Structure 1
Amino acid sequence: MWSDGSDTGLKDAHGVTFMSFRVTFLGTGGAVPTTERGPSAILANREGDRLLFDCGEGTQRQMMRFGTGFSVSHVFFTHLHGDHILGLPGLVQTWDFNDRSESLTIHCPPGTRNHVKSLLRTGGHDPGFPIRVNEVSPGNVALRAAEYEVRAFRTNHRTRAQGYALIEDDRPGKFDRQKAEEELGIPPGPAYGRLHEGDPVELDDGRVIQPEQVVGEPRPGRRFVYTGDTRPVDETVEAAENADLLVHDATFASDYADRARETAHSTGREAARIADLAGAKRLALVHISSRYAGDPSPIEREARSIFENAFVPDDGRRIEIPYPDA
Structure 2
Amino acid sequence: MELWFLGTSAGMPISGRNVTSVALRMPQNRGTFWMFDCGEGTQHQLLRTSFKLSRLEKLFITHLHGDHVFGLPGLLSSRSSLGGTEPLDLHGPQGLREFMETSFRISGTHLNYPLQIHEIVEGKVFEDEAFSVEAAKLDHRIESFGYRIAESPRAGALNTALLADMGVPSGPLYGKLKSGEDVSLEDGRIIRSSDVIGNPLPGRVIVVLGDTKPCASAIQLARGADLLVHEATFSHDLAIKADDYTHSTALQAAETAQAAGAKRLLITHFSSRYKPEDLSGLEAEARSAFPYTDAAIELRPYEIPLN
TM-score range, shorter chain: over 0.9
Query: Contact conserved, 1:89 with 1:122, CA < 8 A, in 2?
Result: no
Is it true that 1:155 corresponds to 2:138 in the alignment? yes
Q: CA offsets per residue over residues 165-219 of structure 1, 9 Å max, x none? A: 111111111111111122x222223332232223333333333322232111111
Is it true that 1:26 corresponds to 2:10 in the alignment? no
Give the aligned partner of residue 239 of structure 1.
221
TM-superposed deviation, 1:36: 1.8
Within-5 A mapping of 1:116-127: 116-121=100-105, 123-127=107-111
Give the aligned partner of residue 22 of structure 2.
42
TM-superposed deviation, 1:122: 5.0
Within-5 A mapping of 1:123-142: 123-140=107-124, 142=125
Measured in 2, the distance between the counterparts of 1:67 and 1:149 equals 25
Within-5 A mapping of 1:79-228: 79-110=63-94, 112-121=96-105, 123-140=107-124, 142-182=125-165, 184-228=166-210
Gaps of 5+ in 1: 1-20
TM-superposed deviation, 1:24: 0.7
Give the letter for the 1:309 counterpart. Y
- Greater displacement, 45-54 / 143-152: 143-152
Measured in 1, the distance between the counterparts of 2:56 and 2:263 equals 27
Give the letter for the 2:90 counterpart. I
Query: Contact conserved, 1:195 with 1:201, CA < 8 A, in 2?
Result: yes
Query: Contact conserved, 1:41 with 1:55, CA < 8 A, in 2?
Result: yes
Is it true that 1:279 corresponds to 2:271 in the alignment? no
- Greater displacement, 72-81 / 193-202: 193-202
Is it true that 1:319 corresponds to 2:302 in the alignment? yes
Give the letter for the 1:258 counterpart. I
Give the aligned partner of residue 72 of structure 1.
56
Q: Provide the aligned C-alpha RMSD in A.
A: 1.7
SS of 2:143 mapped into structure 1: coil
SS of 1:230 mapped into structure 2: coil
Give the letter for the 1:220 counterpart. P
Measured in 1, the distance between the counterparts of 2:118 and 2:263 equals 31
